[in-house]
Amino acid sequence: MKRIILVILVAVVLISLPACSAEEQTNISNTPMDESVTAATAILEEAVERRETILTSKTQIVWDKAFTPGQTYTGTAYYVSNNGDDGNDGLSPETAWATLDRVNKASLEYGDAVFFERGGIWRNTTVETKEGVTYSAYGEGAKPCICASPENGGDSALWSLWWEGENGEKIWLYHRDMPDCGAIVLNEEIIAQKVLGYWSGKEFLHYTGPANWTPEDFDLEEQLSQAPFDVTTELTENLTFFSKADSTLPDTLPVFLSGWEWDGRTPVGELYFRCDEGNPGEIYESIEFQTQCPLFDNVADGCVLDNLFIGFAGDGVLTVAEGDGVTVQNCEVGWVGGIVAVYNTGEAATGYGGGVQRLAGAMGGGNHGTRYLNNYVHHMYHAGGGIEIFEEQGFESGSVYGVQFVGNVFYQCASGLTFFNWDEEANPERKFVDCVYEDNWVLFTGLEDWMDHSFSPAFSHEGGPNLQERCVIRNNVFFVARSAIVYIQEYVEECFPDFEGNTYVQYADIPLIHSDSENLDTDIYDPRVAMEVLGDESGVVILLQENIWDNHLE
């Protein structure tokens, strides 16, 4: 049932006027209930329509003499189908290839296109993109699925009852050793919750902390004094699981399992799943595992990804990094994250901090001219999308030019969009130029149970001063975040991007802005003050007293 107790609708153009009288303030706070409910509900109804439009979008890429990324290709079209054969020539749907390995081995040239059959699924293989090649869909039905999940566990023969408790608790063992699993997705609707253990160098121990410790909080001595992990006592709730992936874990700490310090070995081990209702393979037709595989890693210059489903992965699935002029459009990117990135001591030098780290995001990187258009991005354990500048991956100038996020829907990501320069001091040779976040809908950020990050804003302005020129955050809808709608790490007014005409919907008891900057209040709840800080004179703020649509899209 759709429930709103009270909604306060504030047109923030009022901040340019003199302070309101008590009577004027009363008129604002007493906006008619029906009008307020209609305004908030209409946003979610339109979001559902936008999501459906993206999910059902048709392939419109055609051959032409001129290459227009996302619209045309100029070379040879190749086709890939689960019913194909790698011995075929791939030049027609009737002679399609079968596997991603065959696609990766093909001598694709700039302007070529690879079309995957709709309704097909390709698993656990990185797509080695080639410069200027389009990867899209053909046929009818659901978008072709490229995922990290090694198999569908929706088969009763794949599960055996491992333990049954006195009160009907049932823990099931999967039929094969699995790599570390970040989450289990049931019928593409439900997330089974991961229970973490801490690798001591010899065995898993009861884990004392949250999913993402910071070094100053982590007490290694306390952690190493914990009892060994006992599956029967640790899985205290129905639909929880433990991934005992320890086959190649070293006997010394820290242990890196992703990122630049990783040794490339993927440990595997038993997967225990508590499902009290019975055999999971009988109850759920689809059981997908979020395991590690960078599906589109370091996408090549000029590539187009169109009308694909990319997901069911434990780590980042779509990293553009240094690829220039990449277009990602009409794609669904979902169910990503939760694998352990590092078992740390709290003192080791690592980009992930201390303790047990679980991170994964969807789209982003430091690049030029990349466009993310009309994508549906959902259930990310970390950021849905964003741009970052790293010293290690700087270009000649070190700056990032012309990145666009336009028309996307971000739903139940642990954090929404990011704008992040890692430089602690302003560096004129590394800045954002002509980058745009426009007409994106960022909904219910950090409000899924499995997202236990400490902070979950809809939009993050992180890092140092973030030098920028002509960057704008315009006409977006930021609809409810668990921590704050906007996070500002360091506020320097002359370096701040332009905020224009955005809609900000937030629960009244949660800040509109949270900041660590010395020149701002830590938490800002007042709509007028928040819009003054952002400079969004044409923005609209809606404050909610209780949840709407139960924090879900219908």
- The answer to whether the CB of 305 falls within 8 A of the CB of 327 is yes
- The answer to whether the CB of 446 falls within 8 A of the CB of 472 is no
In the DSSP assignment, the letter for residue 33 is H
Query: What's the one-letter identity of residue 202?
Result: K
Round to whole Å and give the CA distance between 276 and 79.
44
Q: For 422-512, list the strands marked E by DSSP.
A: 432-433, 436-438, 441-445, 459-463, 468-469, 472-474, 477-481, 486-488, 498-500, 503-507
Round to whole Å and give the CA distance between 114 and 305.
10
Instruction: Return contacts of 59-66, CB within 8 angstroms, 24+ apart.
Output: 59/115, 59/136, 59/137, 59/138, 59/306, 59/307, 61/113, 61/134, 61/136, 61/304, 61/306
What pLDDT is recorded for position 41? 84
C-alpha 196: how far from its chain's center?
20
* Edge-first strand listing for the sheet containing 468-469: 400-401, 432-433, 468-469
Per DSSP, helices labelled H in 196-239 are 220-224, 231-234
Instruction: List the structure tokens of 56.
Output: 């059902």
Three-state DSSP class for residue 531: helix
What pLDDT is recorded for position 358? 66
pLDDT tens for 502-531 read 999 999 999 999 999 999 999 999 999 999
What pLDDT is recorded for position 381? 87
pLDDT tens for 153-171 read 999 999 999 999 999 999 9
What pLDDT is recorded for position 2? 31
- The answer to whether the CB of 179 falls within 8 A of the CB of 123 is no
What pLDDT is recorded for position 352? 61
Q: Any residues with CB less than 8 A from the CB of 297 and at least 6 apart, and which?
A: 126, 316, 319, 321
Instruction: List the structure tokens of 1.
Output: 């049932």
Q: Any residues with CB less than 8 A from the CB of 318 and at least 6 apart, and which?
A: 295, 296, 299, 305, 310, 328, 333, 362, 363
**Residue 539: how many other CB atoms lie within 10 Å:** 24
Instruction: List the structure tokens of 311.
Output: 């997901």
Query: What's the one-letter identity of residue 30?
Result: N
Low-confidence ranges of the chain (pLDDT < 50): 1-32, 393-396
Round to whole Å and give the CA distance between 265 and 456.
31
